[in-house]
């Protein structure tokens, strides 16, 4: 899952980003309202952790404008403002959860899991195609019943292909979803990850699972 962390305190922002990454999420950390809106406009996110007191505005206004423009993914507010009124206001403008600072990391991660689970029960929790089984909640992958060990990036790559099997996925679409900002991604990097993913899956599967479409991208068969 791809998570956007909006937090202006450097140490805290870095800490949350690192912790989410360890949980095999792709986490992007930004420090201002402006950067947060740019990030959301640029690529899709599955969830947002949102601080309220930001250098260039209020997270409440930011959330309000996102909801107005149709952004429906879960948002967890993480703020030092912890009166009942603050919480009600946050939930009323469209937050799915509200955690006061200081907070316990374990609780934050548990609440994120709960939000993502709630969201994914509306979607599918297990994807299956071509002998591959990807469990979105357990973050596990099996090929013909055999567990396969993937890195976070490889897993994220496979998830996109599983959700779009049969479709030729353009390289930019893939890199947008996998990396925080596609501007930073050397296009060769995608090929490196693809060849690793293919090697791991196809050696167990015993058949070709992906097709390289020259000049365009990749297709999961």
Residues near Ca ion (CB under 5 A): 8, 51, 53
Please report which helix (H) or strand (E) contains residue 28, including its range.
strand 26-30
Map tokens 């709630």 to a residue.
Answer: 118
* Number of residue whose CB is nearest Ca ion: 53
Residue with smaller CB distance to Ca ion, 32 or 114: 32
Q: How far is the CB of 61 from Ca ion (least distance, A)?
A: 14
Which residues, 6 or more positions from 58, have their beta carbon under 8 angstroms from its beta carbon? 33, 52
Residue with smaller CB distance to Ca ion, 62 or 150: 62
Which tokens belong to 14?
A: 């870095």
Under the phi-then-psi rule, with left for phi > 0, alpha for psi from -120 to 50, and beta for the rest, what region is 151? Answer: beta
φ, ψ at 207 (rounded to 5°): -145, 165
Which tokens belong to 213?
A: 């479409």
Vertex 155 angle, CA 149 and 158, to 5°: 115
Q: How far is the CB of 136 from Ca ion (least distance, A)?
A: 31
Which tokens belong to 180?
A: 């925080």
Q: How far is the CB of 51 from Ca ion (least distance, A)?
A: 4
Residue with smaller CB distance to Ca ion, 90 or 217: 90
Q: How far is the CB of 87 from Ca ion (least distance, A)?
A: 16
Q: How far is the CB of 53 from Ca ion (least distance, A)?
A: 4
Residue with smaller CB distance to Ca ion, 95 or 156: 95
The answer to whether 217 and 170 have CB atoms below 8 angstroms apart is yes
The answer to whether 134 and 141 have CB atoms below 8 angstroms apart is yes
Residue with smaller CB distance to Ca ion, 51 or 159: 51
Q: How far is the CB of 9 from Ca ion (least distance, A)?
A: 6
Residue with smaller CB distance to Ca ion, 53 or 181: 53
The answer to whether 218 and 212 have CB atoms below 8 angstroms apart is yes
Map tokens 């599983």 to a residue.
Answer: 162
């Amino acid at each position: 899952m791809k998570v956007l962390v909006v937090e202006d305190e450097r140490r805290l922002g870095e800490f949350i980003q690192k912790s989410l990454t360890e949980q095999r999420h792709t986490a992007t950390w930004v420090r201002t309202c402006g950067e947060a809106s740019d990030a959301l406009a640029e690529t899709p996110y599955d969830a947002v952790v949102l601080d309220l007191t930001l250098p260039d505005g209020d997270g409440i206004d930011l959330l309000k404008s996102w909801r107005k423009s149709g952004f429906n993914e879960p948002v967890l507010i993480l703020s030092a403002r912890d009166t009942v009124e603050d919480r009600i206001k946050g939930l009323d403008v469209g937050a799915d959860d509200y955690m006061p600072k200081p907070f316990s990391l374990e609780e934050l991660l548990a609440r994120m899991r709960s939000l993502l689970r709630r969201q994914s029960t509306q979607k599918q929790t297990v994807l299956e195609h071509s002998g591959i089984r990807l469990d979105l909640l357990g973050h596990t992958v099996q090929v013909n019943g055999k567990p396969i060990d993937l890195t976070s990036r490889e897993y994220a790559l496979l998830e996109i292909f599983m959700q779009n099997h049969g479709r030729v996925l353009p390289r930019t679409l893939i890199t947008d979803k996998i990396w925080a900002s596609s501007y930073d991604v050397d296009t060769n990097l995608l090929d490196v990850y693809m060849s690793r993913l293919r090697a791991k899956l196809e050696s167990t599967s015993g058949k070709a699972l992906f097709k390289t479409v020259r000049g365009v991208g990749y297709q999961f068969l």
